[in-house]
Amino acid sequence: MPLFMFYEYLCKFGLLKIYEKEIEARVIKHPLPKHVGIIMDGNRRLAKKIGENPEIGHHLGASKVREVINWCVSLGIHTVTLYAFSLENFERPKDEVNVLMNLFEREFLEIAKHPDIHKNKIQVNVIGRKKLLPKHVQDAINYAEEQTKFYSDYYVNFAIAYGGQQEIVDSVKKIAKKVKDGSLSIEEINLELISENLYTSHLPCPNPDLIIRTSGEERISNFLTWQSCYSELYFCETYWPTFRRVDFLRSIREYQKRERRYGK
């Protein structure tokens, strides 16, 4: 039976919450991922499916972010990185990009003062080429980062104006500058040095253990290209705005079933 039909069957008989509790009971008995990356895909496709414009899909997707952060905190997953806007997304229609920029501004201003963020001591950061964003968005991001910079219980990272390959280029440029000014020799360049110059270097666990992509697409799309070399991948058919806690728990359960050998 396909998964969506199974869920429909459970919903029909009011059993989905029971099923969710059973999965959670199994999940918490095993090691959890320390860092989860999520490619939040499907906002526009859901909007189209229900006969609405993309703006509705993006607003629904923004609401889902808050839920997922709460799920991670409740399970004790200390780092989550959310792929919100790629460098390629700037090529979308201007009106849609403007909608997203205004949504980012609103969400970061709300995050900065949300009681759950401060109660759970969540550090908020944006990774990517932030200078490409409109000033009002940069200001909102800077405000959220400033208000949470001393927290270290949980980390929530938003990849905005982000590209994984471009992140590596930026890291190499920083290293090249040090070689040029004589503070670093070519022989000192190694894997650790490149990692230390990536956007995620501030994290206690910079490499995601698990990457989830919603909407059924099965590709990474330039997300954490360097950091994901040994990540476990999980592809979920549901669109991002309709991603449920039971879907999240199933992804973790699948992760726990896999043997991580790191090439050994």
Q: Is 95 a catalytic residue?
A: no
Q: Is 219 annotated as a binding residue?
A: yes
Which residue ranges of the chain lie beneath pLDDT 70? 1-14
State yes or no: 41 annotated in a binding site: yes
Domain ranges of the chain: 1-30, 33-256
Pick from 41, 38, 40, 76: which is nearest to 211 by CA?
38
Helices (H), the chain: 3-12, 16-27, 43-49, 54-75, 94-113, 115-119, 135-148, 164-180, 191-196, 245-257
Which CA distances in Å does 199 have to 38, 52, 138, 182, 191?
16, 35, 16, 23, 15
Q: What's the angle, vertex CA 233, arms to CA 193 and CA 168, rounded to 5?
A: 25
Question: Is 259 flagged in the annotation as binding?
Answer: no
pTM (predicted TM-score): 0.92
Give the pLDDT confidence score for residue 108 in this predicted structure: 98
Per annotation, catalytic residue among 41, 157, 209, 222: 41
Homologous superfamily of domain range 33-256: Decaprenyl diphosphate synthase-like (3.40.1180.10)
87 is in an annotated binding site: yes
Measure the CA–CA gap between 69 and 38, rounded to whole angstroms: 11
The predicted pLDDT at position 1 comes to: 42
Predicted pLDDT of residue 13: 45
Q: Is 90 annotated as a binding residue?
A: yes
- Rounded to whole angstroms, how far apart are CA atoms 65 and 101? 16
User: Annotated catalytic, 41?
Assistant: yes
Neighbours of 18 (CB within 10 A): 10
Provide the residue type at 15 as one letter: L
Q: What pLDDT score was predicted for residue 237?
A: 94
**Is residue 261 part of an annotated ligand binding site?**
no
**Catalytic residue chosen out of the listed positions 53, 70, 89, 209:** 89
**pLDDT at site 14:** 60
Q: Give residue 8's pLDDT.
A: 55
How much is the pLDDT for 148? 98
Q: Per residue in 147-183, pLDDT tens?
A: 999 999 999 999 999 999 999 999 999 999 999 999 9
| CB neighbour class for 38 (10 Å; exposed up to 12, middle 13-18, buried from 19) | buried
* Alpha helix (H) residue ranges in 122-261: 135-148, 164-180, 191-196, 245-257
Which tokens belong to 213?
């992509």
